[in-house]
Amino acid sequence: MNLLENGHILKFPEHLTFTDDELFAFCQKNPELNIERDKHLNLIIMSPTGSLTGNINSKILIRLGIWNDEMNSGRVFDSSTGFTLPDRSMRSPDVSWVSNEQWDKLTLDQKMKFAPVCPEFVVEVKSPSDSLKELKNKMTEWMANGVRLAWLIDTEEHKVNIYNKNGSRQVIESFDTKLGGGDVLPGFQFDLSLLKEV
C-alpha cells in the first residue's frame, strides 16, 4: 500500500492493506483528512476544496437536491461521502446520486460506512490545482465501475465532458447552455450559465 500525498508517495510494506472496515475506521480517526483509495489500494490524501470550487459544487448539489425532492427517486450526496466501488477503490465525487432501487438494497450498516454502491450519476469539478488528464482517467474509472452518467466540469475553460453508460462522450464548449439528466435523471436540467457568476 502506498499513501499518495500531494505527489509524494509514502511506502508501506507490500502486505499491508486496509480492509474496507479498517479504511473506514482510519478515516473516522482522521476526520481532518480527505482520503480516497484507488483501485490499486493506494491511499490518496486530497487537498481541501477551494472556496470557488466549493461554491460551484453547491450550485449543482442544490439544484439536483430540489429535483430529487420533487421526484423522490433517489439520494443526493456531497463531496464528503465515500463509496466503495466494485474495483475496491473508495471514491468521493463532488456531487453524486444513487437511485432508491440501489440504495434500498443496502443494509443499515453498509449505509453508515462507505456504502458498497456505485452512484448512477456523478459530477467532478476541476479545481485549478487538478490535472485534467488525471480527472479524465478518474471519470473513465467511474464509468467502468457502473456510473451511468458523469459530468466533468472545467470552469476555467468553460467546458464540460459528458460520459454516458453506452461509452459515448460529448464535450460542451460553452456555459451558455443547459445540461440534461437524460434517462438517468429524467427532467433534471442544470443551467451552466449559473457557473459564470461564481
Compute the mean pLDDT over every residue in the chain, rounded to the nearest whole number: 91
Query: What is the predicted pLDDT for the residue at 178?
Result: 97
Answer yes or no: do 59 and 35 share one domain: no
* d(C-alpha 96, C-alpha 79), whole Å: 8
* d(C-alpha 97, C-alpha 71), whole Å: 13
Answer yes or no: do 89 and 112 share one domain: yes
SS3 14: coil
pLDDT at 87 over 70: yes
- Residue 83's closest CA among 95, 92, 74? 92
Answer yes or no: do 38 and 122 share one domain: no
What confidence category does residue 58 fall into, taking pLDDT thresholds of 50, 70 and 90? very high
Query: What is the predicted pLDDT for the residue at 50?
Result: 83
* Residue 172 domain boundaries: 50-196
Answer yes or no: do 60 and 14 share one domain: no
Answer yes or no: do 112 and 175 share one domain: yes
Query: What is the predicted pLDDT for the residue at 5?
Result: 41
Answer yes or no: do 38 and 71 share one domain: no
- Quick: pLDDT tens for 168-193: 999 999 999 999 999 999 999 999 99
| Other Cβ atoms closer than 10 A to 155 | 19
Give the chain's largest Cα–Cα span.
Answer: 51
Answer yes or no: do 70 and 163 share one domain: yes
Pick the last residue of a domain from 26, 45, 64: 45
Q: Which residue has the higher pLDDT, 155 or 6?
A: 155
The pLDDT of 94-110, averaged and rounded, is 98
Query: What is the predicted pLDDT for the residue at 2?
Result: 52
Answer yes or no: do 16 and 61 share one domain: no
User: 185: which DSSP letter?
Assistant: S
Answer yes or no: do 39 and 63 share one domain: no
Answer yes or no: do 103 and 175 share one domain: yes
* d(C-alpha 158, C-alpha 104), whole Å: 37
Q: Which residue has the higher pLDDT, 77 or 15?
A: 77
Query: What is the predicted pLDDT for the residue at 8?
Result: 37
Report the C-alpha dihedral over residues 74, 190, 192, 54, rounded to 10 degrees.
-30
Answer yes or no: do 146 and 175 share one domain: yes
Split into its structural domains, the chain has a count of 2
* d(C-alpha 94, C-alpha 60), whole Å: 9
- Quick: pLDDT tens for 1-51: 555 444 334 456 777 888 999 999 999 999 888 889 889 888 888 877 888
- Quick: pLDDT tens for 115-133: 999 999 999 999 887 889 9
Q: Which residue has the higher pLDDT, 57 or 130?
A: 57
The pLDDT of 137-158, averaged and rounded, is 96
- Tell how far CA 67 is from the center of its chain: 19
What confidence category does residue 198 fall into, taking pLDDT thresholds of 50, 70 and 90? low
Query: What is the predicted pLDDT for the residue at 12?
Result: 66
